[in-house]
Structure 1
Amino acid sequence: MRVLTKSKFKLGLECPNKLFYVGKKEYANQKDDNPFLEALAKGGFQVEELARLYYPSGHLLEGEDWDYKKHWEHTKELLKKENVTIYEAAFLHDGLFIRTDILVKRGNSIQLVEVKSKSFNPEDENIFIGKTGRLISDWKPYLFDVAFQKHVMQLCFPVWEIKCYIMMADKSKKASIDGLNQFFRLTKLTDNRTGVKVLVKSKDELGSPILDKLEVTDIVSGIESGKFIYNDGLSFQDSIEDYKQAYLKDEYRNFPTSYMTCNKCEFKADVDSGLLSGFKECFVKQHNWKEGDFSKLNLFDIRGIHWTKSIKLFQSELIFGEKLSQESIGLKEGVGKLSDSERAWIQIEKAISDDSTIYVDKHGLKEEVDKWIFPLHFIDFETCTAALPFSKGRKPYEQIAFQFSHHKYYEDGKIEHATEFICNQAAYFPNFDFIRELKKALENDYGTIFRFHNHENTILNAIHSQLLESDEKDKIPLIEFIESISHSTGNSAKKWSGDRDMVDLWVVAKNFYFNPLTKGSNSLKDLLPAALNNSGFLQEKYSKPIQQISLTSKNFPDEFIWLRKNQEKIINPYKGLPPVFDNWTEEEIEKSISEIEEINDGGAALTAYGKLQYTDMTKAEVDEITSALLKYCELDTLAMVMLYEHFREIIK
């Protein structure tokens, strides 16, 4: 039975064509394999379970999610009661189907409570509606979701008076107990619809509430009346009918492509995936692209053209790189560095001429490198934010810095994995221990410190704020240390710029270097394999065991080799990290409670840290996860070292 659900309605709002591709196993869907999205979704399940405790004695409808009629009949039976609370109440009407997170019925007065794993500041007067009177773009999908739910409910029960709410974490509230998060266990082994096992029976066991609800009834009415629109075109009511017909009939809607929507399309397939591409089919049908066109450089591949310019180029059918000119992309020369548009033009020129050689501003890069002071320090942080705080006194989504790795590069070429820190203790706030250990690692010389992108600076700013509010006896020297190696962000009340402010290798690469193998990306996960494939020096060096290349490691044996090949193709080192429970038997793995298989990206790392909060986890399992986290983080800083060596090789 095909029905238009609220998730599919939201998908239709993004692009009606997606309704044709969603749920079909033969089509690629990149959202299905996104570790960060998966981690966020799991956090949402925990918040939903906590919210249910705020509305006790509710009836949960679960199991057999595909049986829409069964759940609708069950809901109708429960709604015969004058007063009732239902979790996952189901409503089915003429091809439309919704499930409500929490529904409270008191006669004909209804509370529709949508639970979100987002947060709000109660002092913010413009949470949902901006100063211009328009809906805040980030909130649009959620508000239209609630409006769709109310619409279907009203069709089923026209006499109901429905008030709409969004429940989420209040950023001003602090947890009053330790281990709030661990009472809501993420698991694959439960029959619960959300995959969470709840270990408490009442919210009274959880201390002070950290969730609150905001009424959005008037906003929903504005959506229904057309005061607030999602995008130009169909009205709210017409869009529901249009998307319903498209999905029920399994029709491709032929909705016009656009740069902004298609650029974010999840239905793109990797060449070797063996899956169909919805993105590809749209451009065949609407733009008459031939097979060869998809291998040509196009606007979606080019980094550095401002999005407003890209929109205009797309509308003018100037999509392929071969049709673009310096004038059309708005080329502007950078001052002492590559501008974004210069990088875009380099990418275009190299793609058109099939030139895979690296572009580098050797003079500018050498000038930058010559400023750096030995020994060089490369640092990487692993961090986490959780809707449900891990420890007492912390707020929802407060930054937690639980791990760092630190490589030191000496002037004679010796590379030392100098220090590392990890906190695997459950229900403990590690940030102040983290910054103390980082201070010890970096305060003994004036060598240049490197980070990659903004994350480390952002985290240091967060710890700076946490220290200011703390009673730590050494808060002043710790704050002074943070201010010496970082700079303040726009959110900081105090402004500073350290005399030893970290150098951002991402900025260095962006300013002076372009490798066609990265396809315009400046992500370290793309730069590293590209550099390895281009650098004979790196290939020769890191194809040898650690003990032979003047390199130390805290987590890998001396005989470990970082670079291996598969049919002459270099294997990305991140793909070579060993599985978490590499030496465990199947029986031992089955008894584990973390359900973690590998840690080779940031999403997996933060998920692993969340699992370490389980106080009943065995020491053996804690040790295995800790070991995997240490290996992953060590590679992150070694990757920065490799990139530095690549730069140094180029300018020699």
Structure 2
Amino acid sequence: MRVLTKSRFKLGLECLNKLFYTRKTEYANQKLEDTFLQALAQGGFQVEELARMHYPNGVLIEGNDWDYNGLAEKTKALLLQENIIIFEAAFLIDNLFIRTDILVKKGSKIQLIEVKAKSFNPSDEYNFIGKRGGMVTSWKPYLFDIAFQKHVMQLCNPEWSITSSLMMANKEETASIDGLNQLFRISKQANNRTGVVKLESDISKLGTSVLGMVNISPIIEDIIADNHKYHENMGFIESINLLKGAYEEDRYFNWPTSYRACKACEFKTSSVEEQEGKLSGFKTCFKKQHQWTDSDFETPNIFDIWDFRRGEQLFSEGVIFKRDLTPDVIGYKEEAGKLSRTERQWIQIEKDLNNDDTSYVDVEGLRQEMSTWVYPLHFIDFETSTVALPFNKGRRPYEQIAFQFSHHIYSEDGSITHAPEYINDQAGVFPNFDFIRQLKKGLEAEKGTIFRFATHENSILNAIYEQLLDSDEDDRTELIEFIQTISHSKRESPVKWKGERDMVDLCEVIKMFYYNPHTKGSNSIKMILPAILKSSEFLKKKYAQPIRNIGVSSNNFESNHIWLKMELGEVINPYKLLPKVFEDWTEEQIEQSLSEIEDIADGGAALTAYGKLQYVDMTKQEREQLTNALLKYCELDTLAMVMIFEHFKEDLVR
């Protein structure tokens, strides 16, 4: 039976062609779902279990996910009762199938409750619908999902009066007890399903709930009435019928390609997957709709141009290949003293068209920037998490958790020291204040310029600053003053500061003065590192030797460890040589599978591993192995920053 489920409905709304590719093993899929992985990263299992505790008499419908008829029949039997609460109620009609998180039945009055591991601010009237009346983009898939659920329920039971609600973490509430998030443990069962062990069943013992309910019935009614559309010129019921028909018939829909959707398409193949014979949905679409040949796929196109804000417009006009671009077409403008966004784009375009893999560098601009840096240089990387249910009493949902940092020091004589690092791998501990104490100890002993990569570290320091303001820590004044010396305030902060050692963003330095074609337009440190290793003879020579021979210390690798290894004449990305932090998943697969989580950036692997340390019962040996993997992962992040600096110093501005 090929039924349109709510997950397939959401997928089809992104692009109807995806329904043809999904769940076909012959097609590569970069977002293969793993409920255990996502539960660890998002904490969704905790929110769901806490939500159910609000309804202690609820009945859970259990059974195999694919047994649509069986699940629906169990639900029908329970719904014969006048009043009942059901978890995972199932409805099947005309090859449409949904399961609801929580259903509350009182006669013919039904409350449909969707539980989300997201947060909302009850004081914000624009959570879902913006000031101009349009739906907030990040909420669009979820709201249409709920509308789909209501539609199917109403088809099954036309006499029902259904209200729709969202239950989520309330950012204005604080936890009443310590260890709230530790009351829900997670396990991976033999059938690969996610299981939860609940350590408390009486919600009254949890104090004030950090979850809140929002009635979204007016929005759902507007969706069904076509006042909000997912796709222009396509009504809600029309979209359901189109998606259902295409999926039932296992038919390629020929939905038009688009810049945004195709750029992010998960049905693409890596070079390894192509060698293994996997098919690419992306290629199938472009062969069918644009008559691309194999050579067209080798021709530079606009999808990988960095921060290309004109991409959607140009694609709609039929401009797909870089050869059809001109400076005027991309809106080329120069900026004094640094590369503008469009200058950088044009450099990327020209180098791709000319098959030029040499780096661009503004030598004078970079030299001038580097002349302001003071030795010893400090390179810092944070690993962080946010959790829906707070660690401690008085904490709010989704407060930032800083659980790890790495710190490398580059001295003027060229020696490189891996300074004392920090990690908290203990479950249920709020680590932020100890984290900042250890960072203070490591940075205040020696002066010198401090580096971060991108904006994350500054954002975290601002978050800890605010947490300290509300704390009663004995040393909070000293810690606040320290934070203000190495960071700058957020734009919306009522207190403004810019520290005398405000961290230098190495990513911004790259954007302003340097472009390496091997990055393919990416500014992720995971792409920058292998790119500079390919380009730098200095780094190749140095890091092909054991670390004991090159003046580099390490807290986590043996003295005979070699960072740079080759395979068939190509540099192996050092990140690919690290131990996996999550079973059989590579770091790249984790990042792809969790890409919908907001603000995950490059931290998916570490965030997931930290979730495992927090919520999964492990042996001491398993915990140590995972902790060691995290330490190695973070150490490479800061060593990569050192290598970028060495590339600048030894190869570019000498």
TM-score (norm 2): 0.94
**Aligned residue for 1:322?**
323
Higher mean C-alpha deviation, range 452-461 or range 390-399: 390-399
8 Å CA contact 2:40–2:612 kept in 1: the answer is no
8 Å CA contact 1:190–1:197 kept in 2: the answer is no
**Aligned residue for 1:476?**
477
**Aligned residue for 1:224?**
224
Look up the equivalent residue of 1:237 and give its one-letter code: I
**Aligned residue for 1:130?**
130
Distance verdict in 2 for CA 1:156–1:241, change over 3 Å? same
What SS does the corresponding residue of 1:286 show, helix, strand or coil? helix
Deviations 1:204-244 (A, max 9, x none): 34343111110111111111112222231111111111111
8 Å CA contact 2:186–2:615 kept in 1: the answer is no
Q: Spell out the pairing of 1:233-272 with structure 2 (5 A cutoff).
A: 233-272=233-272
What SS does the corresponding residue of 1:527 show, helix, strand or coil? helix
CA distance in 2, matches of 1:142, 1:651: 51
Task: Using the TM superposition, give the Cα deviation of residue 37 of structure 1 relative to its aligned residue in structure 2, in angstroms.
Answer: 7.9
Distance verdict in 2 for CA 1:361–1:66, change over 3 Å? same
Task: Using the TM superposition, give the Cα deviation of residue 177 of structure 1 relative to its aligned residue in structure 2, in angstroms.
Answer: 2.4
Look up the equivalent residue of 2:156 and give its one-letter code: C
Look up the equivalent residue of 2:305 and give its one-letter code: I
Q: Spell out the pairing of 1:590-601 with structure 2 (5 A cutoff).
A: none
8 Å CA contact 2:380–2:452 kept in 1: the answer is yes
Report how many residues are paired: 637
Q: Spell out the pairing of 1:235-634 with structure 2 (5 A cutoff).
A: 235-274=235-274, 275-306=278-309, 309-579=310-580, 602-614=603-615, 617-634=618-635
CA distance in 2, matches of 1:159, 1:151: 13
Deviations 1:230-273 (A, max 9, x none): 23111111111111111111111111112122222121211221
**Aligned residue for 1:12?**
12
**Aligned residue for 2:85?**
85
What SS does the corresponding residue of 1:464 show, helix, strand or coil? helix
What SS does the corresponding residue of 1:461 show, helix, strand or coil? helix
Distance verdict in 2 for CA 1:300–1:72, change over 3 Å? same
CA distance in 1, matches of 2:84, 2:74: 13
8 Å CA contact 2:188–2:194 kept in 1: the answer is no
CA distance in 1, matches of 2:303, 2:35: 23
Distance verdict in 2 for CA 1:33–1:151, change over 3 Å? closer
Q: Percent identity?
A: 59
What SS does the corresponding residue of 2:419 show, helix, strand or coil? strand
Task: Using the TM superposition, give the Cα deviation of residue 203 of structure 1 relative to its aligned residue in structure 2, in angstroms.
Answer: 2.3
8 Å CA contact 2:536–2:647 kept in 1: the answer is yes
8 Å CA contact 2:41–2:608 kept in 1: the answer is no
Task: Using the TM superposition, give the Cα deviation of residue 5 of structure 1 relative to its aligned residue in structure 2, in angstroms.
Answer: 0.8
Task: Using the TM superposition, give the Cα deviation of residue 596 of structure 1 relative to its aligned residue in structure 2, in angstroms.
Answer: 8.5
8 Å CA contact 2:35–2:194 kept in 1: the answer is no
Task: Using the TM superposition, give the Cα deviation of residue 62 of structure 1 relative to its aligned residue in structure 2, in angstroms.
Answer: 2.3
CA distance in 2, matches of 1:263, 1:597: 23
Task: Using the TM superposition, give the Cα deviation of residue 381 of structure 1 relative to its aligned residue in structure 2, in angstroms.
Answer: 0.4
Distance verdict in 2 for CA 1:194–1:89, change over 3 Å? farther
CA distance in 2, matches of 1:326, 1:599: 37
CA distance in 1, matches of 2:368, 2:631: 34
Task: Using the TM superposition, give the Cα deviation of residue 337 of structure 1 relative to its aligned residue in structure 2, in angstroms.
Answer: 0.9
**Aligned residue for 2:59?**
59
What SS does the corresponding residue of 2:273 show, helix, strand or coil? coil
CA distance in 1, matches of 2:203, 2:584: 29
CA distance in 2, matches of 1:190, 1:54: 29
Distance verdict in 2 for CA 1:250–1:509, change over 3 Å? same
Distance verdict in 2 for CA 1:34–1:443, change over 3 Å? farther
Matched, 1:161 2:164: no
8 Å CA contact 2:111–2:162 kept in 1: the answer is yes
CA distance in 2, matches of 1:450, 1:188: 39
Distance verdict in 2 for CA 1:232–1:458, change over 3 Å? same
CA distance in 1, matches of 2:348, 2:367: 22
Deviations 1:548-601 (A, max 9, x none): 111111111111111122222222111112356xxxxxxxxxxxxx96888797
Look up the equivalent residue of 1:276 and give its one-letter code: L
CA distance in 1, matches of 2:100, 2:533: 50
CA distance in 2, matches of 1:128, 1:616: 37
Distance verdict in 2 for CA 1:17–1:353, change over 3 Å? same
Task: Using the TM superposition, give the Cα deviation of residue 40 of structure 1 relative to its aligned residue in structure 2, in angstroms.
Answer: 6.8
TM-score (norm 1): 0.94
Task: Using the TM superposition, give the Cα deviation of residue 4 of structure 1 relative to its aligned residue in structure 2, in angstroms.
Answer: 0.7
CA distance in 1, matches of 2:538, 2:36: 34
Look up the equivalent residue of 2:137 and give its one-letter code: S
RMSD: 2.0
**Aligned residue for 1:588?**
none
CA distance in 2, matches of 1:353, 1:87: 59
Task: Using the TM superposition, give the Cα deviation of residue 638 of structure 1 relative to its aligned residue in structure 2, in angstroms.
Answer: 0.5
CA distance in 1, matches of 2:126, 2:319: 38
What SS does the corresponding residue of 2:327 show, helix, strand or coil? coil
8 Å CA contact 2:147–2:220 kept in 1: the answer is yes
8 Å CA contact 2:42–2:117 kept in 1: the answer is no
Deviations 1:125-169 (A, max 9, x none): 211111112221111111111111000000000000111100000
Deviations 1:527-557 (A, max 9, x none): 0001111111111111111111111111111
CA distance in 2, matches of 1:486, 1:35: 37
CA distance in 2, matches of 1:55, 1:499: 53
What SS does the corresponding residue of 1:317 show, helix, strand or coil? coil
Distance verdict in 2 for CA 1:555–1:40, change over 3 Å? closer
**Aligned residue for 1:591?**
none
**Aligned residue for 1:115?**
115
8 Å CA contact 2:93–2:152 kept in 1: the answer is yes
Distance verdict in 2 for CA 1:521–1:192, change over 3 Å? closer
Distance verdict in 2 for CA 1:153–1:266, change over 3 Å? same
Look up the equivalent residue of 2:456 and give its one-letter code: H
**Aligned residue for 1:3?**
3
**Aligned residue for 1:651?**
653
**Aligned residue for 2:202?**
202
8 Å CA contact 1:426–1:615 kept in 2: the answer is no
**Aligned residue for 2:598?**
none
Higher mean C-alpha deviation, range 377-386 or range 604-613: 604-613
Distance verdict in 2 for CA 1:599–1:472, change over 3 Å? farther
Task: Using the TM superposition, give the Cα deviation of residue 24 of structure 1 relative to its aligned residue in structure 2, in angstroms.
Answer: 1.1
Deviations 1:517-536 (A, max 9, x none): 10011110000001111111
**Aligned residue for 1:45?**
45
Task: Using the TM superposition, give the Cα deviation of residue 490 of structure 1 relative to its aligned residue in structure 2, in angstroms.
Answer: 2.5
CA distance in 1, matches of 2:159, 2:281: 42
Deviations 1:268-307 (A, max 9, x none): 211221321111111111111111111111111111432x
CA distance in 1, matches of 2:290, 2:191: 46
What SS does the corresponding residue of 2:576 show, helix, strand or coil? helix
What SS does the corresponding residue of 2:406 show, helix, strand or coil? strand
Deviations 1:47-66 (A, max 9, x none): 11221111112221223111
Look up the equivalent residue of 2:653 and give its one-letter code: I
Look up the equivalent residue of 1:131 and give its one-letter code: K
CA distance in 2, matches of 1:315, 1:297: 18
Higher mean C-alpha deviation, range 113-122 or range 490-499: 490-499
CA distance in 1, matches of 2:56, 2:234: 40
CA distance in 1, matches of 2:23, 2:441: 52
What SS does the corresponding residue of 2:173 show, helix, strand or coil? coil
8 Å CA contact 2:36–2:193 kept in 1: the answer is no
Distance verdict in 2 for CA 1:364–1:37, change over 3 Å? farther
Deviations 1:434-458 (A, max 9, x none): 1111111111233000000010000
CA distance in 2, matches of 1:598, 1:241: 38
Task: Using the TM superposition, give the Cα deviation of residue 119 of structure 1 relative to its aligned residue in structure 2, in angstroms.
Answer: 0.3
8 Å CA contact 1:101–1:115 kept in 2: the answer is yes
CA distance in 1, matches of 2:18, 2:448: 52
Higher mean C-alpha deviation, range 423-432 or range 115-124: 423-432
